[in-house]
Structure 1
Amino acid sequence: MTSTWLPPAEYIKTIAQATSYACLYFTDTAGRPVQLRATYSAEPWQWPGGNMDPGESPWQCAVRECLEETGMVFEGEPRLLGTHFIGHQGEAWPANHIGFIFDGGTLTDEQIDSFVLDPAEHSELQVHTMEEWEAIMTPVNFDRLREIDAARRSGTVAYLER
């Protein structure tokens, strides 16, 4: 049997395509998750983050997006809390979507109060207990929050698939 090697540009067209995002997960000093309300999404509660730019690593994306969305220069070390895979959703999102959620650590009230949100992307910031978040989030989005929070508390890494 003979194999025919394709040039990389041709081979890439034959395999699954994906977009990717990266974000930072923060809590306050009481361990409560900090989230931003997106102005553009059916899943409104999010962490500072967004889609990766060409040539950017997941970590670089998370740090850049945090600065763009909160005004905070994040100087922590990369610690992966979870990877999130969302399969091809037809016309709604015609590619797989892969996310990298990093630990942003614990923020003081002063740090949280200093966030400057981009009104084109986020309308507010909220901090709640897990029970309070469960009451206001969609079940799918809350499942992601619960798994990432558990990974952080246990020192493990979560793999989420939707």
Structure 2
Amino acid sequence: MGGPSDGRTGWLPPEQYAETVLKATAFACFYFTDEDERPLQLHSVYSPAHPWQLVGGTMDPGERPWQTAVRECQEETGITPAGPPRLLATVYGLPGAEWPYSTIGCVFDGGRLTATQIRGIAVQPEEHDEVRVLPLAAWEALMPRRDFERLSALTEARRTGTAAYVDNWDWGDD
């Protein structure tokens, strides 16, 4: 078993072929709202380029996207989302100055949280220092354009029931 031909000697061995293909990191997260459909985000203490973030993070080796999203959600909020998984969006970003690899992510619908559940979120201070729920339009002034476009696409995907494909979440200038 190998990869495509090198044009001279036939199929490449898998380890050689693997060196020629796209390298990417993967993440998985949840889109939560309150009962009034206002998006919930966490304020990052380590990423001034992306100050407001969805609940989630980078996949660990051996994890699948849903497992990552649930693990990260438990770590970041203390909430354990119930399945089954409902994919709201696939997010893709090209590499750039901030990160040398492409990024591929899955955003799952975390549902609507009650005011009591939101008040009960205990953020991890080494990652986040605030939980905020705002109407969609209010988020625009607080985040980079592409982050807001992604949040808007998620809101629309939840509203329509049609998954979004966001392919402009690149690691370049906003």
Secondary structure at the counterpart of residue 139 of structure 2: helix
Q: Which residue of 2 aligns with 1:84?
A: 91
Measured in 2, the distance between the counterparts of 1:37 and 1:108 equals 20
Q: State the 1:137 CA deviation.
A: 1.9
- Displaced runs of 4+ in structure 1, greater than 4 A? none
Secondary structure at the counterpart of residue 78 of structure 1: coil
Question: Match for 1:36 among 16, 26, 42?
Answer: 42
Q: Which residue of 2 aligns with 1:140?
A: 146
Measured in 2, the distance between the counterparts of 1:7 and 1:105 equals 45
Q: Which residue of 1 aligns with 2:171?
A: none
Secondary structure at the counterpart of residue 12 of structure 2: coil
Measured in 2, the distance between the counterparts of 1:116 and 1:9 equals 44
Mapped contact 1:76–1:104 kept (Cα < 8 A): no
Measured in 2, the distance between the counterparts of 1:51 and 1:76 equals 20
> After the TM superposition, which residues 6-155 of structure 1 pair with which residues of structure 2 at under 5 Å, given as runs?
6-41=12-47, 42-90=49-97, 92-155=98-161
Secondary structure at the counterpart of residue 62 of structure 1: helix
Q: State the 1:149 CA deviation.
A: 0.6
**How many positions carry a matched residue from both structures?**
161
The CA RMSD over aligned residues, in Å, is: 1.3
Measured in 2, the distance between the counterparts of 1:116 and 1:159 equals 31
Mapped contact 1:26–1:104 kept (Cα < 8 A): yes
Secondary structure at the counterpart of residue 134 of structure 1: helix
1:3-43 CA-partner distances (Å, limit 9, x unpaired): 62223222111111110100000000011001000111111
Secondary structure at the counterpart of residue 37 of structure 2: coil
Structure 1, gaps ≥5 residues long? none
Measured in 2, the distance between the counterparts of 1:27 and 1:3 equals 55
Identity level (%): 50
Q: Which amino acid aligns with 2:143?
A: M
Q: Which amino acid aligns with 1:95?
A: Y
Q: Which amino acid aligns with 2:37?
A: G
Structure 2, gaps ≥5 residues long? 1-6, 169-174
Q: Which amino acid aligns with 1:148?
A: L
